[in-house]
Amino acid sequence: MRNILTTVILTISSLTIFAQDKITEELKTLTANNQYDKIIELYASKSKECSARALYLIGQAYYMKENDEKCIKFMNLSIEKDPNDPAPYYIKASTLNYMKNYEDAIPCFLEAIKLKKDDAEFYSGLGDSYTRLEKNSLAIEAYKKATEIKDCSFRPYSMLGQLYLDLAQNDKALEAYYNAKSKITDKSDSYINILFNIGLLESLQGNYEKAEPNFLEIIKLDSTDYHSYAKLIQIYYHRGEYEKAKPYKEKLYTAHKKGLLKDNLVDMFCIDQFKWNEKLIQVFERYQENSTDIFEKLRFYIKDANGKIEYKIQTEYSPISAEQGGAKYLLCMTKGNTHSTFNIGFNDDFKYDDLKKSVIDILENKVKAAATTTFGTKK
């Protein structure tokens, strides 16, 4: 009798396993064909009949349909049946990240890593959780571990670059971005961003020859990347190659007239930056060209060690001087509540080197103001 009962139990067990395998295979086929709605319709209500892998595949369907609560429910069911499979831990953790529940995501990523230590995506997801929680040192550690694994995607390299950039560790950021560039093609949405950061970092280090090709490649891929035009202008001004900068300035002026510019390019763009007495001088050119009133054309911003603007020296359109046949622009300075005007004039065909020299003369007190106004009172 025991033998018969045992045989019956074994037969039922075999039929159950067969049924579970059949469900799993069907789910795999539907998953391969992206039929997530059908998976949910046919199998979500049959969770008690499903194996751990089948439950995972149903949860994955909910994941793809962005139904986070149901996704986590099925990942938990899968984990209950097979706690040694890293996949449901990873999907659960990724879902928790999407839900901005980063604290709860971390132990799930760590469990997935414990079960499978050679998956770069697990470390990358963990790095994302730490990044969102602003635990930068832990995020860097996670991303670095991801990059040590073969066939690591570009994302951990890119995130390392961003974190190092935020921490002003520019050498490490540059290395990370170059590694990221080697991992993706120019068809990727992130490729231009990586090129821009490489160009920016090379420029900051004074490596303009290395920076230039990156910005040129960007505008070849996207002719509307106006920030790259501005960066090229700065490179050419730094090298004194003003003719090379002209076509890119024209592009910005045309885009401005069409209302295509955004953010910090709306009113003006940086053409040069240089150091004077350990202070950074940033030079901006405004698009405004004609007016019956006074307006500023070029601005030299003098910044302190913290990057805060202390004061500015600017070229101002002078209607009176222009009407009398004099210079179109006069060199002026605004410092706190004091405005000073100097007897130094320029027209549209001025040479930038001459203007820059005059500004430095003012900075070094070699030129005295012709007129100074403070709180509306003439002195």
pLDDT digits (tens, 9 = 90+) for 220-247: 999 999 999 999 999 999 999 999 999 9
Residue 224 maps to a domain: no
The mean pLDDT value of the chain amounts to 91
Residue 212 is given by DSSP the state H
Share of the chain above pLDDT 90, in %: 79
Enter the DSSP assignment of 295: -
Kindly report the pTM of this predicted structure: 0.80
The Cα 322–Cα 196 span in angstroms is 41
Inside any domain, residue 180: no
Place 376 in a pLDDT band, splitting at 50, 70 and 90.
low
CA 352 to chain CA centroid, nearest Å: 33
Residue 98 lies in a domain: no
> What pLDDT was estimated at residue 20?
55
> Is 137 part of a structural domain of the chain?
no
**What is the tally of structural domains in the chain?**
1
**Residue 49 pLDDT level (bands cut at 50, 70, 90):** confident
pLDDT at 63: 93
Q: What pLDDT band is residue 359 in, cutting at 50, 70 and 90?
A: very high
The token pair that represents 94 in the structure block: 């990724």
pLDDT given for residue 47 in this prediction:
82
Tell me the C-alpha distance between 172 and 177, whole Å: 9
**Does residue 199 belong to any structural domain of this protein?**
no
Backbone angles phi, psi at 126, to 5 degrees: -65, -40
Is 54 a member of any domain? no
Please report which confidence band the pLDDT of residue 186 belongs to, taking 50, 70 and 90 as the band edges: confident
Does residue 296 belong to any structural domain of this protein? Answer: yes
Quick one: pLDDT at residue 7?
A: 38
Tell me the two tokens of residue 234: 């700065």
Structural domain that includes position 298: 269-379
Gap between the Cα atoms of 229 and 252, Å rounded: 7
pLDDT on residue 3: 45
pLDDT band at 324 (very low <50, low <70, confident <90, very high): confident
State which H helix or E strand residue 274 sits in: strand 268-276
| Stretch among 18-32, 78-92, 278-292 having the lowest mean pLDDT | 18-32
For the record, the structure tokens of 54 come out as 């089948």
For residue 167, being part of any structural domain is answered with no
